[in-house]
Structure 1
Amino acid sequence: MGETVKVSPMRSKKCRDCGMIKPSTEFWKNKSSSDGLAYYCKVCFGLRNSRAYRKKQANLSKEARPYRRHSDVPEGMKYCPQCTEIKSVDEFGRNRASRSGLTHYCRPCHAKVMAENRNRKHGSARNYLLKHRYGLTEDQVGQMIADQGGMCVICLRSAAEQVDHDHRTGLVRRVLCFKCNGGLGQFGDDPERLRLAAEYLELEGSHARSLVLELGRPVFAGRRYLQEREWWRRVRPASGSREQHLRRRYGIDDADAHWLLTMQSGHCAVCFEFPAEHIDHDHATGAVRGIACSGCNTGMGQFGDDPVSLRRAADYLLGELVREMPSNEGAIRLSFTVPDVDPRRAAKADWERHREADGRHRRTIWVVDDDHEGPTWLSQCLKKIQDSYALMVEELAR
């Protein structure tokens, strides 16, 4: 093996191009030369490379960039070849693949170049994202939306916009609206939690039955309760900001919230799985129903506190909502309502009627005998709760 040539920074050398004698630090290292230095100084070396680059660009009929020395960039600054400006390194993104650890272009130029590349290779940014995330093209998603009649298959009220997929398998399911897609995520894609939420909203779950046994009504408080406690609000001042919030928004105090939490054993009134955190109430009547966990409380809001959508979402996750049916033309079409309706031919004004009929159907098939006392006892219990709540609503209306 040859001996490594060590170059002293105090030495000097004459450049063959410019003829000037310069310090050795102004020359690149070159192991093949006798003194271990390049034949040309760094400035002349750059000019030689520049001439070669310009000749190549001219042969390709392309415009060459103006010559610029890299050493002209001050410390802490970086040159952007897109906008041809020298900027602070803080204006560049991170790129571990590059020697400097920064992107080649500044942030605005980088975003612009990436967008142009996506549009050139994939047609549009949306098409790129669909391919990257779901393996679908924009045309394929458009065909899926057309097969659904343009409607979200769960709520049947909003336009289908967002592709929904199984996060465990990565398989694409259908195209949903923004709220239904977000609601599934809040419930953790759990069909059982969705069914329990539907029963909870209809005051037919075990939490409503517990309130009936404790208070004689399926909800904790309503507007009449709030009106009766107006005098109490004036006489007894709130103990803190939390109690002020509870009184102002729900008409209850810390003692009421503590009673509810104790009655629920600290668990969510909907799923009984996660800790109870948020007071849940009916926005129409003002009735406090219970204390729910963050996921159930937010998820019910995403589905618009609608039991029909919740039950349809549960069947959707189980693969029992969307079915393939033969069309009159002999092809395959989709069906996601009972009675069966061709979504391609359904008028937008008729979806609410189809939705109500489908909701009645799914409500009858998902009655669960969770107390093992038989369907007769359960139906009688549910009827008593419904009658009690109907009387309360009538009193509030009067």
Structure 2
Amino acid sequence: MKYCPQCEQTKKIEEFGKNRARSTGLANYCRSCHNRVSSEAKQRLYGGQRSYLLKTRYGLTGAQVDELTARQGGICVLCLRDPAAHVDHDHYTGVVRHILCFPCNGGLGQFDDNPRRLYEAADYLEERTWYVRLLRLELGTSRISSSALRAWREETYPGSFERRTAEAVARAGLTSRGKPRVRWGLDAADIEDLVTIQQGGCAICVDRPAEHVDHCHETGAVRGMLCGGCNTGMGQLRDDPAVLRRAIDYVLGLLVKEVPDGRGGTRLSFTEPDVDPESVPEGGWEPHRLADAAFRKGERDKEGVRDSWIGDPVEV
């Protein structure tokens, strides 16, 4: 039993939290009193739980976050789709950048705020990357399918098709009523072969293990084997090359700019063509998002010389 000086009651020690700084190893107040006292202190000193967290984590008040959100027009500066709700900061410097939606904030973290990985991910989606050439050299096509992988297996390991298939299925433990379980049109042996072609590395970042089958959520077509971070980050950034290219400029500090507002002050600008975020009505961002995506695709197409060795993504 332990006495709580706040409620002046003696209670079971299970009703007290842990505190290693005290000789007893227990908090001074019971849990219910501790929570109430903490809540009152946060309300008195910071104005509430939200402001307390913002101040301790990012050095901002709730009013400052609300002001920044309003300057953004209430929209996530990356995807231009969802409401801005989460404070984003540079994990190296701790500097607050802007307010993002939850998926975009998480997607940046999955890519480690790394511009190179974001660049490769955008090229990967548009079939402009080294991975396209690799598939064409190995499979004779950039389209991954069970038939293409089985042809590669028979050519690379002649006479061992059935044995390698059975061994792969046994290693993966993927069976359904005695037959190999098939997902995305590939069985365990197909997936193993694809990892072998990629030399075990992620098709985007290369330096992490290829562990997840990546596929287009619209067509179901398999695109490659990715590491966990790249696979999750792609999904959170909506498999959208335009969002990925905006993310590159964002982490480099080039996306969001301060421009004159025509009234002697400044405003934010983060789209091409430029638009005043505070002038866009709620639900009115879609045409600006599409225009920005078209602009960034046009800018990327100007870099075609870099991709001349890949060529257009056509079936071989």
TM bucket, shorter chain: 0.7 to 0.9
Residue 307 of structure 2 corresponds to: 378
Cα shift at 1:147:
0.4
Residue 139 of structure 1 corresponds to: 63
How big is the alpha-carbon RMSD for the aligned residues of Structure 1 and Structure 2?
2.6
2:4, 2:184 → 1: CA distance? 57
| CA displacement 1:131-164 (0-9 Å, x = unmatched) | 1111111000000000000000000000001101
2:311, 2:223 → 1: CA distance? 16
Cα shift at 1:100:
2.4
Letter in 2 for 1:250: W
**1:222 and 1:288 in contact (8 A); partners too:** no
Residue 336 of structure 1 corresponds to: 270
| CA displacement 1:184-218 (0-9 Å, x = unmatched) | 11001101101111111122211123223333432
**1:266 and 1:276 in contact (8 A); partners too:** yes
Aligned to 1:297, which of 208, 225, 231? 231
Residue 204 of structure 2 corresponds to: 270
| CA displacement 1:244-288 (0-9 Å, x = unmatched) | 488343221222112111111110001112111111111111111
The question of 1:111 aligning with 2:35 is answered yes
* Structure-2 change in CA distance of 1:167 and 1:381 (3 Å): closer
1:349, 1:382 → 2: CA distance? 39
Query: Which one has a bigger Cα radius of gyration?
Result: 1
Residue 355 of structure 1 corresponds to: 289
| CA displacement 1:38-92 (0-9 Å, x = unmatched) | xxxxxxxxxxxxxxxxxxxxxxxxxxxxxxxxxxxxxxx1012333332222321
What is the TM-score when the length of structure 2 is the normalising length?
Answer: 0.85
Residue 243 of structure 1 corresponds to: 174
Aligned residues: 296
Q: Any unmatched runs of 5+ in structure 2?
A: 150-164
Residue 135 of structure 2 corresponds to: 211
1:55-204 to 2 correspondences below 5 Å: 77-204=1-128
DSSP-derived class of the 1:212 partner: helix
1:348, 1:307 → 2: CA distance? 25
What is the TM-score when the length of structure 1 is the normalising length?
Answer: 0.69
| CA displacement 1:199-239 (0-9 Å, x = unmatched) | 1112221112322333343231399x9xxxxxxxxxx9964
Residue 252 of structure 1 corresponds to: 186
Q: Which has the higher contact order (CA 8 A, sep 6+)?
A: 2
2:275, 2:173 → 1: CA distance? 50
2:18, 2:63 → 1: CA distance? 34
Letter in 1 for 2:296: R
DSSP-derived class of the 1:132 partner: helix
* Structure-2 change in CA distance of 1:111 and 1:295 (3 Å): same
Letter in 1 for 2:195: L
| CA displacement 1:368-396 (0-9 Å, x = unmatched) | 97xxxxx458358442x1x449xxxxxxx
DSSP-derived class of the 2:285 partner: helix
Deviates more, 1:298-307 or 1:96-105: 96-105
**2:20 and 2:26 in contact (8 A); partners too:** yes
1:299, 1:182 → 2: CA distance? 7
Q: Give the % identical residues.
A: 51
Residue 318 of structure 1 corresponds to: 252
1:377-396 to 2 correspondences below 5 Å: 378-379=307-308, 381-383=310-312, 385=313, 387-388=314-315
Q: Any unmatched runs of 5+ in structure 1?
A: 1-76, 226-235, 370-374, 390-398
* Structure-2 change in CA distance of 1:199 and 1:358 (3 Å): same
**2:146 and 2:186 in contact (8 A); partners too:** no
Cα shift at 1:323:
0.6
1:185, 1:362 → 2: CA distance? 23
